[in-house]
């Protein structure tokens, strides 16, 4: 049985009882709840978003969560590859899970085909999503040690030229924060409204299934 927890930036777990479990990255909790929050047949459990900084831990965490899940007819994995080098896709196939397409959230928010096309000319871009704008210090600045050694900024970002903010929501305050992140990194700011992209399409399909 999955414990009932409170929504946080790192994750959310609803009490079991639904037919479909959405097992997701904690960085997607807000976005997924837009689609699942009022659906009795969908439960959401998120693994800690910080696993993105340790992709080798994602597959074991997913396997453990699936093993503990009880009472579901189906589990949907709301992850892309996320740096696992294909190992997450392999695990999903072994466990009989559907999952999101593409290499990472930047791709499925924008649309994987469009992202791959743009990647041919946008290889000097650094990407942020709504979540990463909110959690920039915790997930970018501090893990890279820039809070303690700001002089390392050029070592990390010297070959980047732009910061592309992929906006899931039209929030002026988040846009201002994203622009401030670009300034801190010394990068040209680009805002691109993506909405929820392929994540939204997948969640809409699940939400429309009969519980």
- Beta bridge partners, 25, equal 47
What is the pTM for the complete model shown?
0.85
**According to the CATH classification, is domain 20-103+197-208 in 3.40.50?**
yes
- The counts of H helices and E strands in the chain are 10, 7
Parallel, antiparallel or unpaired: strands 98-99 and 162-167: unpaired
Is residue 82 a contact partner of residue 88, using CB atoms and an 8 Å limit? yes
Instruction: Assess whether pLDDT exceeds 70 at residue 3.
Output: no
Q: What is the pLDDT of residues 181-194, one digit of tens each?
A: 999 999 999 999 99
Parallel, antiparallel or unpaired: strands 125-128 and 162-167: parallel
Listed by start position, the domains of the chain span 20-103+197-208, 112-193
Tell me the C-alpha to C-alpha distance, in Å, between residue 44 and each of 2, 3, 37: 10, 11, 9
Please report the pLDDT score of residue 210 as a whole number. Answer: 54
Residues 6+ apart with CB under 8 A from 81: 88, 89, 102, 103, 104
**Enclosing H/E stretch for 65:** helix 58-68
- Cα dihedral 192/55/86/75 (nearest 10): -80
Q: What is the pLDDT of residues 118-169, one digit of tens each?
A: 988 899 999 999 999 999 999 999 999 999 999 999 999 999 999 999 999 9
Please report the pLDDT score of residue 4 as a whole number. Answer: 34
Q: What is the pLDDT of residues 26-62, one digit of tens each?
A: 999 999 999 887 777 889 999 999 998 899 999 999 9
Both tokens of 2, joined, read: 């999955």
Please report the pLDDT score of residue 52 as a whole number. Answer: 87
Please report the pLDDT score of residue 18 as a whole number. Answer: 52
């Amino acid at each position: 049985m999955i414990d009932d927890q409170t929504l946080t930036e790192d994750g959310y777990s609803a009490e079991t009882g639904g037919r479909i479990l959405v097992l997701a990255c904690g960085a997607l909790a807000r976005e997924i709840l837009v689609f699942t929050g009022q659906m009795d047949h969908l439960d959401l459990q998120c693994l800690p978003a910080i696993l993105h900084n340790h992709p080798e831990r994602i597959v074991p965490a997913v396997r453990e969560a699936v093993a503990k899940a009880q009472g579901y007819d189906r589990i949907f994995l709301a992850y892309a590859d996320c740096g696992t080098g294909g190992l997450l896709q392999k695990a999903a196939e072994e466990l009989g899970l559907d999952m999101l397409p593409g290499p990472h959230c930047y791709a499925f928010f924008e649309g994987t085909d469009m992202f791959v096309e743009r990647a041919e000319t946008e290889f000097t871009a650094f990407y942020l999503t709504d979540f990463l704008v909110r959690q920039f210090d915790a997930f970018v600045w501090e893990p890279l040690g820039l809070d303690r050694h700001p002089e390392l900024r050029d070592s990390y970002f010297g070959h980047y030229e732009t910061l592309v903010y992929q906006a899931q929501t039209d929030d002026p305050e988040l846009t201002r924060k994203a622009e401030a992140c670009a300034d801190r990194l010394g990068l040209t700011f680009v805002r691109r409204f993506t909405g929820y992209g392929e994540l939204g399409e997948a969640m809409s399909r699940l939400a429309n299934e009969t519980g």
